[in-house]
Structures are given as structure tokens and as C-alpha cells.
């Protein structure tokens, strides 16, 4: 073997031993999903009535709540804009003479639990708003309305109120 071959072999051996070391590190891959929600409210229409309101008039509507899967939420309803309205006795107003028709909104078809904007439930009391957990697609919440009976002095006209549904998540 000649000197030239020995030098090439020595270089190959030396460079091979210099490449024998490695280093590594790890890194995390992350994604944060934030809770997000939206709400769509559909109008509640009690229909048409002739004359005095002598029996209760029931109707229902719905709210569509869409929240990220696993996001807890609650929905409250304010008292509306009728003068002197409360959660128990909301008021639709006739634009022509400011007369009112009393009604209430409830959380269930039995119409026993008034739906209001107070989503803090005290021990031993019924829920006054509706709560749930998002599933990633629209969830339907029913709103049950009732016009109170025994309102004999109603004036002809259209009665309207505006209720704000507040979604908290």
C-alpha cells in the first residue's frame, strides 16, 4: 500500500470518528381551544285575540345556543321594556295608547318557573334561568309564554315588548 492510500484511509477514519456524536432536544406542540358561544332568539307570537282576555293564552318560541363542546353556559331573560315590568309580570305595550297586556315567560312547559335574568340559584329554590353545556352545535332552548287571564279592558291594537336574552359562558 502506498503512502497516498494510507493518507486517504487516515482521513476517512478521522472524519468518521468526528461524525459519531449526536445531540437532540424535545419540544411541546400545543393548542388552546377557548370557549365560544352564540345565541339566536326567535320571536314569540301569542297570535290574535278578539275582545277581552278571559282565559290564559299560551305560546312558545325558542332560542338557539351554539357553544364550543364542553363550554358551560347560562341564558337569562330580562324583564322587557314595558313600563313597570318584572320577571313575573312582563308587559306588552300598545303603541297607540300605551295600554299594556301582562304576560310571563317560563323555563318549562308546566309554566311554573319564571325565566328571569338571575342565574344564581339559591339552595332550595328553582332555577330562574336555563343552563347547559355546549356540544359544538346548536342546542334549542324552549321559551314558554303565557298571557295572563282576566284582562278585560284591553284596547284594540298591536301589543309589543322586547326581551333581551343574555348568554353567559
What is the reported pLDDT for 133? 95
Q: Is the pLDDT of residue 17 over 50?
A: yes
Number of Cβ within 10 Å of residue 23's Cβ equals 4
Q: Is the pLDDT of residue 87 over 50?
A: yes
What is the reported pLDDT for 102? 96
Give the C-alpha separation, 55 to 127, whole Å. Answer: 27
Average the pLDDT over 145-160 and give the result: 93
What is the reported pLDDT for 104? 97
- Note the pLDDT tens digit of each residue in 96-149: 999 999 999 999 999 999 999 887 765 665 558 999 999 999 999 999 999 999
pTM score, two decimals? 0.80
What is the reported pLDDT for 76? 95
What is the reported pLDDT for 7? 46
**137 with 64: CB under 8 angstroms?**
no
Q: Provide CB contacts within 8 A for 26, sequence distance 6+.
A: none
Number of Cβ within 10 Å of residue 107's Cβ equals 22
Domains in the chain (CATH in brackets) are 37-168 (2.60.40.1090)
Amino acid at each position: 500500500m502506498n503512502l497516498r492510500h494510507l493518507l486517504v484511509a487516515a482521513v476517512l477514519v478521522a472524519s468518521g470518528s468526528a461524525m459519531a456524536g449526536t445531540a437532540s432536544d424535545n419540544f411541546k406542540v400545543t393548542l388552546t381551544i377557548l370557549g365560544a358561544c352564540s345565541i339566536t332568539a326567535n320571536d314569540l307570537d301569542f297570535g290574535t285575540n278578539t275582545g277581552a282576555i278571559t282565559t290564559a293564552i299560551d305560546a312558545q318560541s325558542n332560542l338557539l345556543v351554539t357553544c364550543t363542546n364542553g363550554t358551560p353556559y347560562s341564558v337569562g331573560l330580562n324583564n322587557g321594556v314595558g313600563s313597570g315590568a318584572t320577571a313575573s309580570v312582563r308587559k306588552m305595550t300598545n303603541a297607540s295608547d300605551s295600554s299594556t297586556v301582562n304576560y310571563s315567560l317560563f323555563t318549562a312547559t308546566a309554566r311554573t318557573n319564571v325565566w328571569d335574568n338571575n342565574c344564581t340559584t339559591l339552595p332550595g329554590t328553582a332555577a330562574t334561568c336555563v343552563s347547559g353545556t355546549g356540544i359544538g352545535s346548536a342546542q334549542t332552548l324552549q321559551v314558554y309564554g303565557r298571557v295572563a287571564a282576566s284582562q278585560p279592558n284591553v284596547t284594540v291594537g298591536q301589543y309589543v315588548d322586547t326581551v333581551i336574552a343574555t348568554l353567559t359562558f
